[in-house]
Amino acid sequence: SYDLTQPPSVSVSPGQTASITCSGDNLGDKFSSWYQQKAGQSPVLVIYEDTKRPSGIPERVSGANSGNTATLTIRGTQAMDEADYYCQAWDSGTAVFGGGTKLTVL
């Protein structure tokens, strides 16, 4: 089965840049998506097709995908960005999620 690996946690100071990685075999050959899940809420799509932002997602949120790693970058991190983030891709018709990364804004 296909696996996506994320770091369990990332910490960032307010106003700084947070980067969350997602690793998988030849992930760059697939489209990746990212979801933000705040405590007690449903996940929300923040990046799809590697780099695209749904309406309502600020420009300071961006994505990239190349080689074996997809990266979610949040510039000018704010307290409201504190959440769990999940990457997701499709492999052989099966949707796979990463284990999630808890972003803490210190």
Q: Which residues bind another protein (CB under 8 A)?
A: 1, 31, 33, 35, 42-45, 48-49, 54, 86, 88, 90, 93-100
Residue whose structure tokens are 């932002």: 53
Residue 17 beta carbon to another protein: minimum distance, rounded to whole angstroms: 24
Residue 11 beta carbon to another protein: minimum distance, rounded to whole angstroms: 20
Nearer to another protein (CB atom), residue 16 or residue 104: 104
Contact 57, 46 (CB under 8 A): yes
Residue 95 beta carbon to another protein: minimum distance, rounded to whole angstroms: 4
